[in-house]
Chain A
Amino acid sequence: MVGVVNSQVVFERPAAMSSVATHYCPGCTHGVAHRLVAEVLDEMGLVEKTVGVASVGCSVFAYNYFDCDFVEAAHGRAPAMATGVKRMLPDRVVFTYQGDGDLASIGMGEIVHAAARGENITVIFINNANYGMTGGQMAPTTLPGQKTTSSPAGRDVEQMGFPIRTAELLATLEGAGYVVRRSLHDPKNIRLAKKAVRLAFETQVRGLGFSMVELLSTCPTNWGINPVDSLQWVEDHMVPAFPLGDYKVADAVAQIRLR
């Protein structure tokens, strides 16, 4: 560019992210979540010693977007697969990246037991209140009355029960070191989410047990709302149903001071 002097980099792709366009829909917060994880891997210098575990859902191709080793799990089994990797390579950093159908429906058994064992892995849990990849069906996190392609009249709690609050559920387990819920609907919350992701990886690096950050996310395409309104919808509807907060912070984790 002509006439620009003293140019300064104020924003760039994290080194831990691959230089490829993602397949995510416009306005989807997966990209934000990816970025937060990548920034943390960069900050902590972990890229070369990390093995990611992708799951089945919209983030099935997560392995294309991170510059670390990756394996691809069967639907719901990422915590078990991550357990296998971590047990064989205890000095490596292992994280799973799972959606709500994957983690809280088909994979509920694996996530509960990984947390109960205090498996020293980090879980990034994307909660967008529906099955995104298959086109917006009802998920275990779908809100009461929420219309999806498989609950066209709205989620009927008499028939289909209530949403599962995974962070609260896992927080009851002794093995959980750090379990929190954050949201990606505005810059302030994104900054808080970033800190939580950092603390989750710090928990793992220090060997303090299972860590999970649940991230409330948007799905404009399947919700049928534009991206900006989707962010508002998270704030108006999801945050009340899935309160943000720290559900389990083990004493040793609370002692961690980030520089």
Chain B
Amino acid sequence: MPKELLKGNIAMAEAAIRAGLEGYFGYPITPQTELLEWMSARMPELGRVFLQAESELAAINMVYGAACTGARVMTSSSSPGVSLMMEGLSYIAGTEIPVVLIDVMRGGPGLGNIAPAQSDYNQIVHGGGHGDYFPIVLAPSSVQEAIDLTVLAFDLAEKYRTIVVVLADGSIGQMMEPAELPPMKPLKTTRPEWATTGATNREKRVLSSIYLQPEQEEITNLRLLKRLEEIEANEIRYKSYYLEDAEFVVVGFGTAGRVALSAVRMARAEGLKVGLLRPITLNPFPIAQLRQITDQVKAFLVVEMNSGQMLLDVQRATMGQAPVEFYGRLGGVVPFPDEILAEIRRIATTNEYATNGFVRRNWLRRLETLVDGGE
């Protein structure tokens, strides 16, 4: 297929359709609404299910029911809407059925704004719903990657009977880039052996997240954990840039990752030995990959569009073997490359990194100066 100039939201919608999506249930919210609108036109045209729910609460529970039939189904939303979906996500996880969610993140907390942000990291990666569960989280940084990861999301969801979240942000959703869509996949013709489709010529099936006996619930939790281990062994994805001789490594995902790429190139042009590691799977997190380069690295710089939610995971991965610095912008502000370049310069030329353990506090002081300075 030739490349087309595609808007992220529409590209993800069409990619899902071509991946064999059978049912979509959603609720309008900026900055993901074009995704729902695209579905509203395309799905009925293809004889597939589209339904605009009365709320995100209803949407995720419609997806829950639809997924119980073994069909390929999904929903999409943005941060406040995803907060409302947390109940349903926990139930879906507890029932061990495949569901795909696309979260096009925006600024918060609360109503916040509609600008790009990454502050759903914690509620998605570490689970905003109750109980121990572990969705696979894929973080695209371009329209092409958003397409590819959306297609992958359905395969992974079914392979591991799990929730897969494509964690994008308003920038990815609203941006247009040349990208190639996959060919249209035929719809599935079979249903998995657990699906509740009516007990015709077979024993009845029940799908539920209830395990009244704690011992049974523990076994379920262990099963989820075992599956996570399998996912960790097979599904880690990341992209690295200029790591070979890097003495300083920037870590950032999604839009923050690609903004950091610009800064890293500028720093390289100045002769600074800087590289970039951009995690594509946030869960499973590329822990081993980070640990592996910890010896060669003088310091890491984590860049996010939140207050350091992934920072804690990078610290966990590097286990104190190298200083981990942080730079973030908040509330829907997207950092410019020159801000990150300034951080790289500071770290690389002054060796002024936080050895006192107050990484976030130090960053906050620097950011306050920047923001007070009329930013």
List chain A positions with a Cβ less than 8 A from chain B. Answer: 47-51, 53-54, 60, 63-64, 66-74, 77, 80-89, 92-93, 109-110, 113
Q: Which of the residues A54, A93, A110 comes within 8 Å of B61, measured between beta carbons?
A: A110
Binding site for A on B (CB under 8 A): 22-23, 25, 49, 51, 53-55, 57-59, 61-69, 71, 73, 87-88, 91, 95, 196-201, 204-210
Closest 5 CB pairs between A and B? A84-B65, A72-B208, A84-B66, A81-B65, A80-B61
CB distance from A226 to the nearest CB of B (A): 29
A71 to chain B minimum Cβ distance, whole angstroms, is: 5
Contact partners of A63 in chain B: CB under 8 A: 206, 208
Contacts of A93 in B (CB 8 A): 198
> Could you tell me the distance between the alpha carbons of A94 and B202 in the complex, rounded to whole angstroms?
18
In the assembled complex, the Cα of A84 lies from the Cα of B62 at a distance in Å of: 4
Interchain CB contact under 8 A, B68 and A85: yes
Closest to B54 in A: A113
Given A53, A66, A87, which contacts B51 in the complex, CB threshold below 8 Å?
Answer: A87
Q: Is the CB of A51 within 8 A of B196?
A: yes
Can you list 19 pairs linking A and B with CB atoms under 8 Å apart? A49-B198, A50-B198, A53-B65, A66-B204, A68-B204, A69-B198, A70-B196, A70-B208, A71-B68, A71-B207, A72-B208, A73-B61, A77-B57, A77-B88, A84-B61, A84-B63, A87-B66, A89-B69, A89-B197
Asked if B204 and A67 make an inter-chain contact with CB atoms under 8 angstroms apart, the answer reads yes
Of A67, A72, A87, A113, the most chain B CB neighbours within 10 A belong to A87
In the complex, chain A residues whose CB is within 8 Å of the CB of B66: 84-85, 87-88
Q: Which residue in chain A gives the minimum CB-CB distance to B49? A: A87
Q: A51-B198, A69-B206 are in contact. Are A80 and B65 (CB under 8 A)?
A: yes
Contact between chains at B57 and A72 (CB < 8 Å): no
**Could you tell me the distance between the alpha carbons of A47 and B203 in the complex, rounded to whole angstroms?**
11
Q: Which of A51, A69, A84, A89 contacts B64 (CB 8 A)?
A: A84
Chain A residues contacting B204 (CB-CB under 8 Å) are 66-70
Q: Find chain A residues with CB under 8 A from B22 CB.
A: 88
Q: B59 → chain A, closest Cβ, in Å?
A: 8
B contact patch SS: mixed
Residues of B within 8 A of A48 (CB): 198-201
Interchain CB contact under 8 A, A85 and B58: no
Residue of B nearest to A54 (CB): B208
Q: Which residue of A lies closest to B62 (CB)?
A: A84
On whether the beta carbons of B58 and A109 are closer than 8 Å, the reply is yes
A73 to B209, CA, bound (A): 9
Q: Which chain A positions have C-beta within 8 A of B63?
A: 84
How many Å lie between the Cα of A73 and that of B66 in the bound state? Answer: 12
- Assembly CA distance A84 to B69 (angstroms): 9
Residue of B49, B62, B91, B200 contacting most chain A CB atoms (<10 Å): B62
Take A71-B207, A109-B54 as given contacts and tell me if A83 and B68 are in contact as well, using a CB distance cutoff of 8 Å: no
Compute how far the CA of A110 lies from the CA of B197 in the bound complex, rounded to whole angstroms: 22
CA distance A66 to B73 in the complex (A): 27
Contacts of A71 in B (CB 8 A): 64-65, 68, 95, 196, 206-208
Contacts A85-B68, A87-B49, A87-B51 given; does A113 touch B199 at CB 8 Å: no
Contact of A72 among B49, B53, B207 (CB under 8 A): B207
Task: Give every chain B residue within 8 A of A49 (Cβ-Cβ).
Answer: 198, 200
Contacts of B196 in A (CB 8 A): 51, 69-71, 85
The residue in chain B whose Cβ has the minimal distance to the Cβ of A91 is B198
- CA A84 to CA B64, docked complex, whole Å: 7
Q: Which residues of B contact A89 (CB under 8 A)?
A: 69, 197-198
Q: Which residue of B lies closest to A75 (CB)?
A: B87
| B198 lies within 8 A of A74 (CB) | no
Q: By the criterion CB–CB under 8 Å, are B65 and A69 in contact? A: no
B57 near A109 with CB under 8 A, answer: yes
CB of A205 to closest CB in B, whole Å: 13
Cα(A110)–Cα(B66), bound, Å: 16
User: Using Cβ atoms and an 8 Å threshold, which residues of chain B touch A53?
Assistant: 65
**How distant is the Cα of A64 from the Cα of B201 in the complex, in angstroms?**
19
Please report the C-alpha to C-alpha distance between residue A77 and residue B87 in the assembled complex, in whole angstroms.
10
A3 to B159, CA, bound (A): 62
How near does chain B come to A67, taking the closest CB pair, in angstroms?
6
Q: Which residues of B have CB within 8 Å of A86?
A: 65
A68 contacts across to B, CB distance below 8 A: 198-199, 204
Cα-based distance from A54 to B209 in the complex (angstroms): 12
| Residues A110 and B208 in contact in the complex (CB < 8 Å), given A68-B198, A71-B65, A84-B64 | no
Of A50, A77, A80, A88, which contacts B69 at CB under 8 A?
A88
Give chain B residues whose Cβ lies under 8 Å from the Cβ of A77.
Answer: 57-58, 61, 64, 87-88
